[in-house]
Amino acid sequence: MQWTGVIRDVTLIYKDIWRFLLIVFDLERTNQLSLLPDKDLVDLCPPYRTIPSNEEPIS
């Protein structure tokens, strides 16, 4: 059957994704990986300026 190969490949992809997520969550839990930006980096980014619909954007 052709489909068994496809199903097996999809199952392997799901297993690989699951392994990757487990590694990411373990690193996050042990504070070796930070998924949230540092406060210093957030301070460097200026806040977005909202543009009213009747105003032209600045180029």
Domain ranges of the chain: 3-33
Q: Whole-prediction pTM value?
A: 0.44
Q: Would you mind telling me the total number of residues written for the chain in this entry?
A: 59
Distance spanning both ends of the chain, measured CA to CA: 59
Q: What is the pLDDT of residue 1?
A: 47
Residues sharing a CB contact under 8 Å with residue 12, sequence separation 6 or more, in sequence order: none
Rounded distance between C-alpha atoms, residue 6 and residue 21, angstroms: 23
- pLDDT tens digit sequence for 7-59: 677 888 889 999 998 888 888 777 776 666 555 555 555 666 666 666 666 65
DSSP state of 33: S
